[in-house]
Amino acid sequence: MINIGAYLEKSQPIVYKTFSNALKNNRLSHAYLLSGEAGIPLKETAIYLAKSILCDHPSPLADETCNTCVRVDHGNYADLLILDGAESSLKKDSVQEIVSDFTKTPLEEKKTMIYIIHLVENMTSEAVNSLLKFLEEPTKNTYAFLTTQNEARLLPTIISRCESMRMLLLPREEVIRDATTLNVSLDDAELLSYFLNSGELISLESKSDDYLEAKGAFLKTLEALSKERSDAIFTCEHDILPNVSSKEDGRYYLDMLSLCFKDLISLRECQTIKLTSYATLLMPLANKLGHLEESLLEIMKVRGQLDLNISVSLLVEHLFNYITKEF
């Protein structure tokens, strides 16, 4: 598991110090808004800070080893609720569930209730209204951690009722260097640095099935695009589609493909590329493939269509036909 305490101390010193001091001096706010760009571990940080309030032996933040910390990690702590806007849009019902839970008596010994709403921008407007009422009338020993990747999409009233903590985006070179120090290969580190802004997170993700499948499909795509059209379509059907069966797989794969097409455009224009470890694979494709800009737009369009519940296989197949139409 990632050591968020060490990550905050090293890479997010302002968040680390502000929160440690507030906790030490008993001056916690009742609501915090953690904001940062995609790739920053917002949800993990929110959980860690919540754990720091609850921890049996904080020093100054969560020790990660006490009974309470372990129970939070296993999702077995009754007075901590997490709503994840990354998984689905957050509806009024789920917020009202929290509101009604929190007006009851806490179940745990500490009598402290905490709720986390990850990616609060993904709430429906009805859900936001329920949340606002709740933020307006905080009850004693109740804390909220909201996270957002897009503060501009939040109502000013939400922002003004929370103490804001902005998380910094680390330079990509630093993230890649940290990841390679943790024995991640350079090509994995480079590719994942566009998804995760932490060497340690990259190290964990580089071994995950989701990543390995998406990367496998991505590499097969580069191989397929170097072939004749009929062979390319055959590879797509046999080696790529089985690896991108779910919406999440599809998103991961299409994001990798977007990066790749941006690099192909850069190569054609003799500019530096992002995925330097893929240069030898990309070079021949930059010369071979036509209509790169149109293909990139099509990749983005197809990615948007994933949310409309169209079959991932159909969309990827369509994309392959589109990219290879001039072969």
Please report how close the Cβ of residue 12 comes to Zn ion at its closest, in angstroms.
20
Residue 61 · residue 52 · CB < 8 Å: yes
Please report how close the Cβ of residue 50 comes to Zn ion at its closest, in angstroms.
11
DSSP character at residue 194? T
Q: Distances in Å between the alpha carbon of 12 and those of 130, 196, 197, 262?
A: 31, 15, 12, 30
Please report how close the Cβ of residue 72 comes to Zn ion at its closest, in angstroms.
8
Q: How many residues bind Zn ion (CB under 5 A)?
A: 5
CA distance 117 to 128: 11
Contacts to Zn ion from residues 160-219, by CB under 5 A: none
Please report how close the Cβ of residue 66 comes to Zn ion at its closest, in angstroms.
3
Contacts to Zn ion from residues 69-98, by CB under 5 A: 69
Contacts to Zn ion from residues 261-300, by CB under 5 A: none
CA distance 114 to 295: 46
Q: What is the DSSP string of 49-110?
A: HHHHHH-SS-SSS--S-SHHHHHHHTT--TTEEEEETTTSPBPHHHHHHHHHHHHS---STT
Contacts to Zn ion from residues 47-66, by CB under 5 A: 55, 62-63, 66
Nearer to Zn ion, 112 or 305 (CB): 112
Counting beta carbons within 10 angstroms of the beta carbon of residue 135, is it exposed (0 to 12), middle (13 to 18) or buried (19 or more)? Answer: middle
Nearer to Zn ion, 51 or 161 (CB): 51
Nearer to Zn ion, 5 or 41 (CB): 5
Please report how close the Cβ of residue 143 comes to Zn ion at its closest, in angstroms.
16
Nearer to Zn ion, 110 or 166 (CB): 110
Binding site residues, Zn ion, CB under 5 A: 55, 62-63, 66, 69
